[in-house]
Structure 1
Amino acid sequence: MFIRTERSIKEFIQLYPVVSVIVIIHLLLFVIIDILSLQIGNLIYQWGVGNNFYINQGEYWRLLTSIFLHAGLSHTLFNSLALILFGPALEQMLGKFKFVAAYVLAGLAGNLGTYIIEPTMFDTIYVGASGAIYGLFGIYIYMMLFQKHLIDSQNARIVVIILVIGLVMTFLRPGINIAAHIFGFIGGFALGPLILSNAKAFSVWRNQRSDNSASTAQFDPNRWQKKRTNKKIMKRILWTAFVILVVLGIVGRFL
């Protein structure tokens, strides 16, 4: 589920278009706002950030737009990498429409929690996809508890480990929107019964292109050895990505 087997970025985009589009939006907004510092970028940021004072004045769109904005490079990369790791499996299992609904609603739940808990002041602002991503974790946890046929024990352990580390970092790192993380997770968990109805377990075989048909398949006496070798390589890639996420989180503390 969380080990990427795609052969290229192009194939990843074809298989997981929703995750890809969201990540592209993250990166484009970062380039426009933080690197190019364009006037339009400044306007997007000013009109898009979560701000409890303005939301209280009726600018409710900020509860949605702030999900796609981030505070700097480390924040952008951290959330984008987390989405690349944990989003594709759910996009395949749920389908594009349900995945978009789950992602957006979990992000809204995180921002609504922030709006309710944090003071309604002019300087209370927040950005980031963390609430939506924690919502994905909420769906996985619901899956582990009530839809166990959708996730195996190995992948379940990965979810638990990453979630625990993420929660620890949530309370240890300064400047973290704790309410968004917690309420995003709760929102995702609450969506579980509805969003997982008729869901099918993730399968790499469903990602095979139609041109890789059985007619072209050939017997390979070393296929099992190759499979074990590939599995070891993918595990290393997964743990490398995990280390990158942790390092980005630590570095972000000092940026």
Structure 2
Amino acid sequence: MFIRNERSIKEFKQLYPVVFWIIIIQLALWLLTGFLQTPLGTMIENWGRGVNFYISQGEYWRLLTSIFLHVDLMHVLFNSFALVLFGPALEQMLGKVKFIAAYLGAGLAGNIATLLLGPSIYAHVGASGAIYGLFGIYVFMVAFRKHLIDQSSAQIITIILVIGLVMTFVNPGVNAYAHVFGFIGGFALSPLILTNIRPYNPWIRHQVVDDGSVRFDPNRWQKKQRNKKLLKNGLWIFLGILVVLGLFGRIF
């Protein structure tokens, strides 16, 4: 479920438009607010970041806008990378409307918890709460909708979730409220959104790009074995990236 086999960015956009545009929006906002540091970017950051004091004074839009803003390049790249890995399968399974509702709902749950439980002067940005909400949906599948997720994907989700939760509590710069309650929000929404859906089909892309011709690949078995090896290696590489990012987060 988590290995991308699309052959181009155009194909990825056709198959998963919501995931694609979320990534584009948050990268564009980082360019304005972080890299270029334009006056417009400064205005967007001041207007959109989550600040508990301002939210408590009625600026409730910050609960939503802060999901799309990020602190630095590594922050936005990590969340974008996580969304590329874990978003497409859910977007295909749930459809655009349900996926948007789940993503934003989990992000809002994390930010509301931050408002209620965090210090009054606490400021925060990032899509981590929404990303952890996706994990919550997958964990609900593992526990209660086993027919929707294969065993290897369930193991990957379990491992990554454990590592993510450990990093949440050992890294003092992380908004733990958003992570934990974003996860809870996604888990709580799952019974409502995981209705009348089918398991993820990685070969749906042929409906978009197939020219109708039938081809026989004599090397299909070797390719299958190679893909299995790439999947295993990719998992360990990804876990290593998570650990390294966590360590750098503690250092800087």
User: Residue 51 of structure 1 contacts residue 124 of structure 1 at CA under 8 Å; is this kept in 2?
Assistant: yes
CA distance in 2 between partners of 1:127 and 1:59 (Å) = 15
Q: For residue 207 of structure 2, give the secondary structure of its aligned residue in structure 1.
A: coil
**Alpha-carbon contact 1:82-1:245 (below 8 Å) kept:** no
- Residue matched to 2:38: 38
Deviations 1:196-253 (A, max 9, x none): 101210011212134525x512333332222222232243334333433332332233
Distance 1:11 1:235, change over 3 A: farther
Superimposed CA distance per residue, residues 25-54 of structure 1 (whole angstroms, 9 cap, x where no aligned partner): 111111111111100100101111111111
Show the 5 A alignment for 1:63-142: 63-120=63-120, 123-142=121-140
Query: Using a 3 Å threshold, how does the CA distance of structure 1 residues 211 and 110 change in structure 2: closer, same or farther?
Result: closer
Structure 2 counterpart of 1:50: 50
- Aligned pairs, number: 252
- Given candidates 217, 220, 236, the residue that maps to 1:220 is 217
Structure 1 runs of 4+ with >4 Å offset: none
- Distance (Å, rounded) in 1 between the aligned partners of 2:183 and 2:111: 11
What TM-score does the superposition give when structure 1 sets the normalisation length? Answer: 0.94
Q: TM-score, normalised by structure 2?
A: 0.95
Residues 1:233 and 2:230 aligned together: yes
Superposed CA deviations along residues 119-155 of structure 1, whole A, max 9, x for unmatched, are 22xx311111010011001101111111110001100
Change (3 A) 1:177 1:211: closer
2:198 maps to amino acid: K
Whole-Å separation in 2 of the counterparts to 1:119 and 1:226: 53
Tell me, in whole angstroms, the C-alpha distance in 2 between the residues paired with 1:13 and 1:245: 26
Q: Which has the higher relative contact order, 1 or 2, with Cα contacts under 8 A spaced 6 or more apart?
A: 1
Moved more, 12-21 or 95-104: 12-21
Coordinate RMSD, CA, aligned? 1.5
1:77-117 Cα offsets, whole Å, 9 max, x none, are 11111111111110111011110010000000000011110
Q: Is the 1:3–1:235 contact (alpha carbons within 8 Å) kept by the matching residues of 2?
A: no
How has the CA–CA distance of structure 1 residues 7 and 113 changed in structure 2, closer, same or farther, with 3 Å as cutoff?
A: same
Give 5+ residue unaligned stretches, structure 2.
none
